[in-house]
């Protein structure tokens, strides 16, 4: 066979045969037959191919090692970047053309090996590229660092045949955040690196803008990464670095958005509670609004506990006002920020409301808060009864300028975040101004009320002074004529016979003179300011005496008396005759209002009114009450709706009560009845040693 034909056939086999082993066998059979060879062997690292079947390859190996055994010839395959190999043939006589042909065959075999190797590597590379594409999609589908690390370790182990892959990720400051890894077998991860068993390869996870972590591959000692595997691992690391940079950017943007949303939410709370403050000037309502802003989970900060303390200037300490402590159900509901009396009562009656009016903050805390310092209270449970162990408490001063007006104590199960502390600082300034404003407005209202009362008393005093002068003049002018009329009428009456028809007229004159003298006595009594002679007096005993005086009349009128007297009341410094006159006037008015068949209720109790300890005496009746149009005038002198009387009874009562430093109020329930409330102060003169209560 000619040389060219043989080479063409070998080329045809190389181009059409996909299996190296089958291709070698066909080439060896063709060459052996064409050149009449006894046998052929191809030696490659770890592989041996020969022809014909059953050939003893030992002489061929010896010829390869000896390099010149008779009858054998060795042809080295030109490898370049391909696999190495040696072709050994046996023939007694080889012509130069045969040797040339065998050299060509060796070159063709080398080319065949390179082609097959390229196809294999291309196939592996294509598969790896597809896997890399799939890995890129998986890695790019998550924005969670931990999940990213787990996926990266999984794909790196899959592509590299490593026994263990560890991925360590860094944050934006280069600090290690966490490590994840994958092993071939379940169980503990490799704790100690042993060079006798593993080779370690470290790949950096980087991008153009920084280093985001490292990936460590632990390979068995006998396993090496191919060129394509190395390239895929590095590409995988570059992809991971880029994706980690995207995650860092996303986290930064998310943090900025979250911070902005928190600031907007905090500013919204400040704005809404500020508007709510403007809707009321009452201190207690503003305090409740502030607690809602701190503890409402829907409209406020959502803290589980908040307590408000106010500075009592007289005592020089911080006393509790109110607090909120809730776990599962907040007391606020989902309504707007408006607070009416019903809403106030509902919140104050809820289990979450905490009455801390009896709690006082320790002096050392008050002194620290006066400096305007925020306190972290590790021992709050020791002096605030409703604080809980295991929670973190912070005390914030409420400063109006440089003056401490109160304190705010808030608690949470975990330490407060920096953003929450910033909000609380701003909120405490707003709350301090709101509370101070409410206090000033209440003081202004009280001052205005006191001024109005003073003006009324002044006007009333002027009227009384004028009336006193008039009454004294009238009394002086009428006294002598009235005495003369009364004296002469009594003389005529006594001299008339009993059967005299004119005696009825003298009797009428005497009766009217007595009535006129009584009126004149009342006017003179009202026009004079009485001098009080106070002594310790049992109010309950005094009431018992007055009711005893009216017992016969009450029985005749079928009027029931209900007594609700607090027998534990202390004695009070009063003028007994004057206070007896107050009680008699009130009982007399009740009798006249009822007429016949009704009830009079008399009660006593100890109360605190406007910060003063007082005794309250209440006299109520079922006589129909006072018409609304007459109510403003009932304490005015000479005002009466009765056909008889001077209209001075209630005026005298009011003056006597006020002279004792007390107050009188009316609770009208027209047309059912009316109640008069008399308040007498318990703070009076010091007890006189050995003096016993009168009454």
C-alpha pair distances (Å), 94 with each of 70, 108, 393: 12, 19, 103
In a domain, 266, yes or no: no
pLDDT at position 558 is 92
Task: Answer yes or no: do 406 and 456 share one domain.
Answer: no
Task: Answer yes or no: do 499 and 643 share one domain.
Answer: no
pLDDT at position 562 is 93
pLDDT at position 621 is 92
Domain of 565, in residue numbers: 535-681
pLDDT at position 396 is 92
pLDDT at position 629 is 84
Last residue of a domain, one of 434, 463, 481: 434
Task: Answer yes or no: do 100 and 181 share one domain.
Answer: no
Distance, CA of 407 to CA of 419 (rounded, Å): 20
Task: Answer yes or no: do 422 and 489 share one domain.
Answer: no
Task: Answer yes or no: do 503 and 464 share one domain.
Answer: yes
Distance, CA of 588 to CA of 573 (rounded, Å): 24
Q: Which residue reads 């896997």 in tokens?
A: 131
Task: Answer yes or no: do 301 and 428 share one domain.
Answer: yes
In a domain, 688, yes or no: no
- Whether the CA torsion 475, 477, 482, 483 is positive or negative: it is positive
Which regions of 486-611 does DSSP assign to beta strands (E)? 535-537, 559-564, 572-574, 598-609
Chunked mean pLDDT (size 10), the chain, 695 residues: 71 74 82 82 81 84 75 77 73 76 79 75 73 82 85 86 85 67 45 64 86 87 80 88 87 86 86 87 88 89 91 83 87 83 88 88 87 86 81 90 89 88 89 86 84 78 66 67 77 80 80 73 64 89 91 90 92 91 89 90 92 92 86 74 66 87 90 91 54 48
- 26 CB contacts (<8 Å, ≥6 apart)? 13, 17
Distance, CA of 653 to CA of 647 (rounded, Å): 11
C-alpha pair distances (Å), 338 with each of 270, 277, 279, 436, 656: 15, 9, 8, 20, 44
Long-range contacts of 197-201 (CB under 8 A, 24+ apart): 197/221, 198/163, 198/164, 199/223, 201/160, 201/162, 201/225, 201/233
Structure tokens at 177: 């955040």
pLDDT at position 688 is 37
Last residue of a domain, one of 76, 95, 123: 123
594 touches 622 (CB < 8 A): yes
- 214 CB contacts (<8 Å, ≥6 apart)? 167, 168, 202, 203, 204, 205
In a domain, 635, yes or no: yes
What DSSP designation does 360 have? B
Task: Answer yes or no: do 337 and 366 share one domain.
Answer: yes
- Secondary-structure percent of the chain, ordered helix, strand, coil, rounded to 5: 50, 20, 30
* 42-53 exposure pattern, b = at least 16 Cβ within 10 A, e = fewer: bbeeeeebbbee
Last residue of a domain, one of 252, 269, 297: 252
Please write the tens of the pLDDT for every residue from 528-585.
666 788 899 999 999 999 999 888 889 989 999 999 999 999 999 999 988 998 998 8
Q: Is 482 exposed, middle or buried (0-12, 13-18, 19+ CB in 10 A)?
A: middle
Which regions of 530-654 does DSSP assign to beta strands (E)? 535-537, 559-564, 572-574, 598-609, 612-621
Any idea what the CATH number is for the domain that residue 55 is in?
3.30.450.40
In a domain, 7, yes or no: yes
pLDDT at position 442 is 81
98 touches 69 (CB < 8 A): no
pLDDT at position 694 is 52
């Amino acid at each position: 066979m000619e040389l060219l034909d043989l080479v063409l056939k070998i080329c045809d086999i190389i181009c059409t045969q996909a299996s190296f082993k089958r291709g070698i066998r066909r080439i060896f059979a063709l060459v052996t037959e064409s050149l009449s060879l006894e046998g052929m062997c191809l030696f490659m690292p770890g592989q041996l191919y020969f022809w014909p079947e059953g050939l003893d390859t030992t002489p061929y190996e010896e010829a390869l090692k000896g390099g010149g055994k008779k009858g054998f010839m060795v042809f080295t395959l030109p490898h370049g970047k391909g696999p190495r190999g040696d072709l050994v043939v046996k023939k007694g006589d080889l012509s130069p053309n045969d040797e040339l042909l065998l050299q060509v065959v060796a070159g063709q075999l080398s080319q065949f090996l390179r082609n097959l190797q390229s196809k294999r590597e291309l196939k592996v590379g294509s598969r790896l590229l597809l896997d890399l594409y799939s890995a890129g999609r998986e890695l790019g589908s998550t924005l969670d660092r931990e999940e990213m690390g787990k996926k990266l370790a999984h794909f790196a182990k899959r592509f590299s045949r490593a026994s263990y892959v560890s991925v360590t990720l860094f944050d934006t400051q280069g600090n290690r955040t966490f490590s994840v890894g994958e092993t071939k077998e379940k169980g503990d991860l490799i704790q100690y690196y042993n060079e006798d068993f593993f080779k370690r390869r470290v790949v950096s996870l980087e991008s153009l803008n920084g280093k985001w972590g490292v990936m460590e591959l632990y390979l068995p000692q006998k396993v090496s990464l191919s060129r394509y595997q190395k390239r895929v691992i590095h590409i995988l690391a570059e992809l991971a670095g880029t994706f980690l940079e995207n995650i860092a950017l996303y986290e930064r943007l998310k943090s900025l958005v979250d911070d902005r949303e928190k600031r907007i939410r905090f500013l919204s709370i400040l704005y809404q509670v500020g508007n709510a403050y403007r809707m009321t000037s009452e201190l207690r309502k503003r305090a409740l609004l502030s607690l809602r802003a701190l503890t409402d989970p829907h409209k406020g900060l959502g803290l589980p506990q908040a307590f408000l303390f106010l500075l009592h200037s007289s005592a020089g300490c911080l006393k509790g006002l109110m607090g909120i402590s809730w776990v599962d159900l907040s007391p606020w509901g989902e309504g707007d920020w408006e607070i009416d009396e019903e809403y106030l009562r509902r919140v104050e009656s809820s289990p979450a409301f905490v009455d801390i009016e009896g709690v006082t903050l320790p002096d050392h805390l008050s002194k620290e808060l006066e400096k305007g310092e925020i306190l972290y209270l590790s021992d709050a449970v020791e002096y605030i009864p409703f604080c809980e162990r295991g929670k973190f408490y912070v005390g914030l001063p409420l400063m109006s300028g440089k003056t401490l007006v109160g304190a705010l104590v808030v608690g949470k199960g975990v330490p407060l975040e920096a953003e929450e502390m910033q909000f609380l600082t701003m909120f405490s300034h707003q709350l301090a101004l709101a509370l101070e404003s409410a206090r000033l407005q209440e003081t202004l209202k009280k001052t205005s009320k006191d001024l109005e009362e003073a003006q009324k008393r002044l006007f009333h005093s002027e009227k009384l002074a004028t009336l006193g002068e008039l009454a004294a003049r009238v009394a002086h002018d009428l006294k002598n004529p009235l005495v003369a009329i009364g004296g002469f009428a009594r003389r005529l009456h006594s001299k008339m016979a009993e059967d005299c028809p004119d005696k009825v007229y003298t009797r009428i004159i005497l009766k009217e003179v007595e009535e006129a003298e009584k009126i004149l006595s009342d006017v003179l009594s009202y026009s004079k300011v009485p001098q009080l002679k106070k002594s310790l007096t049992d109010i309950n005993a005094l009431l018992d005496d007055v009711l005893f005086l009216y017992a016969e009349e009450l029985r005749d009128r079928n009027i029931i008396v209900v007594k609700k007297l607090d027998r534990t009341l202390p004695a009070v410094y009063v003028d007994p005759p004057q206070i007896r006159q107050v009680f008699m006037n009130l009982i007399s008015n009740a009798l006249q209002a009822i007429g016949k068949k009704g009830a009079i209720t008399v009660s006593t109790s100890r109360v605190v009114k406007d910060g003063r300890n007082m005794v309250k005496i209440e006299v109520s009746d079922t006589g129909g009450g006072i018409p609304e149009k007459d109510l403003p005038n009932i304490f005015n002198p000479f005002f009466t709706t009765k056909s008889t009387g001077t209209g001075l009874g209630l005026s005298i009562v009011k003056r006597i009560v006020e002279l004792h430093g007390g107050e009188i109020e009316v609770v009208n329930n027209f047309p059912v009845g009316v109640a008069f409330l008399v308040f007498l102060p318990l703070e009076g003169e010091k007890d006189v040693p050995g003096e016993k209560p009168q009454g």
